[in-house]
Amino acid sequence: MRIFATGMIQAVMGKGWPDDQPIEARMVTKAIERAQNTVEQRNAETRKNVLKYDEVMNEQRKVIYGRRDQVLDGSDLSELVMTSLAEAVDASIALFCGGEFVEDWDVPGLMTEVAQYWPTTLTAEQLADAVTTDEVYDRLMADATRHYAEREEELGSESMREVERQVMLRIIDTTWREHLREMDHLQDAIGLRAMGQKDPLTEWQREGFEMFEQLVSNVSREFVKYIMHVQVVVESPEPEVRNVVTSGPEDPSEGSGSAAIAEAIAAQTGVAPEPAAPQQPEETPNAPIVKDSEYDRVGRNEPCPCGSGKKYKMCHGR
C-alpha cells in the first residue's frame, strides 16, 4: 500500500489526514477492476445468448413471411394444394396402414380420417382389396384429384385461386400467432433445463425447431381441409326500393282531416264553405278579492285575528 508522504507525516504528528488528499490502495483498485470485468463479461454472455435465442425466431419469421409474401403477390397455389393433399394422404396411410400385413390395416379408420380432408366417394370395401399401400395411395389421390377438379370447374379458375389465397393467408396468420405464444411460454421455462444438466440454448433450438415443423404441418392440413370443403356464397345485390308508401299520421293540410272534408263538400255543392273562425278559449273574469277591514289592520307577522294561533301571512293573509 502506498501512502502519501505528507499525509503520513501529518498523521504521525497528530494533525490528522488532510481532507483534500485521496486515499490510494492498489489492492482495492485491482479488486474493483476484477469485479467490473466479471460483470461486463457476464453481460456480454447474456447479450450473446439473447442474440442466439433471437436467431431461432428470426429464421422462423423468414419462412412464414416468405410464404405470406408469396400469397400476397397473387401466386398460383394449386400446386401447393396437391402437394399438401399428397402429404395428408401419405400421413394417413402411414398411421392406419402401417402394418406389413393387410389384415393389420385399419381401413375404416383410414376412411374416417380421409373424410376430414374431402368428401370422398370411396368406401372401405373398395379399398379392402388393395394389396399394397401404394395401391391405396393411388386410389385415394385419384378420388381427391377428381373432387378438386370438380370444385375448380364449379367455381371457376380465377375464383378458386382467390379462395385459395384468402384461406392460406387466414390460416398462416392464425397459426403463427398461436405459435408465437407457445414459443414465449417455452422461452420462459427453458432456463430450468440447466437443473437437469442440459444446455438451455440447445434445448431451445431443438424444441423450437420441432414446434415449427408442427406449425408447417398444421398449416398444410388445415389448408387442405378448408379448400376441399369451403363453400362460396355469392351475395346478390339488394333490390332498389321504389314507390315507397308511408302509413304514418297525415299532415292536416294534405291528409283526410277537416281541410280534405271541406274540399270534398265544395266539389259536390259548388259552394265553398266559410272558414271557421279559430276558437278562442273563454276567459273567466277574476273575482275581486274582498278583504275584511278587521284583517286589513293586521300585520303579516302578527297573530291571525281568527284565533288559529298562526301568523296572519300563514292563515287569512295568504
Tell me the per-residue pLDDT of 211-230, one tens digit each, with 9 for 90 and over: 999 999 999 999 999 998 87
* Cβ burial 124-140 (10 Å sphere, 16+ → b, else e): eeebeebeebeebbebb
Confidence at residue 167, expressed as pLDDT on a 0 to 100 scale: 92
Evaluate if residue 22 carries a pLDDT over 70: no
DSSP string, 26-59: HHHHHHHHHHHHHHHHHHHHHHHHHHHHHHHHHH
Quickly count: other Cβ atoms within 10 Å of residue 181's Cβ.
9
Q: Confirm whether pTM is higher than 0.75.
A: no
Clarify whether residues 136 and 196 are in a common domain: yes
Instruction: Read off the pLDDT of residues 153-197 as tens digits, 9 standing for 90 and up.
Output: 888 889 899 999 999 999 999 999 999 999 989 888 888 888 888
Average pLDDT over residues 46-56: 74
Clarify whether residues 121 and 215 are in a common domain: yes
CA pseudo-torsion sign 94, 84, 220, 62: positive
Domain that holds residue 207: 77-229
Confidence at residue 66, expressed as pLDDT on a 0 to 100 scale: 92
Clarify whether residues 26 and 152 are in a common domain: no
| pLDDT level of residue 241 (50, 70, 90 thresholds) | low
Is residue 191 domain-resident? yes
Clarify whether residues 166 and 213 are in a common domain: yes
Q: How far is it, in rounded angstroms, from Cα 111 to Cα 109?
A: 5
- Give the CATH number of the domain where residue 83 resides: 1.10.3060.10
Is residue 297 domain-resident? no
Clarify whether residues 149 and 12 are in a common domain: no
Strands annotated E in the chain: none
Quickly count: other Cβ atoms within 10 Å of residue 260's Cβ.
13
Is residue 7 domain-resident? yes
Domain end position, chosen among 229, 261, 287: 229
Q: How far is it, in rounded angstroms, from Cα 211 to Cα 60?
A: 10
Q: How far is it, in rounded angstroms, from Cα 205 to Cα 57?
A: 9
Average pLDDT over residues 252-270: 52
DSSP 100: S
Clarify whether residues 93 and 212 are in a common domain: yes
Domain end position, chosen among 182, 197, 229: 229
Clarify whether residues 150 and 35 are in a common domain: no
Number of domains in the chain: 2
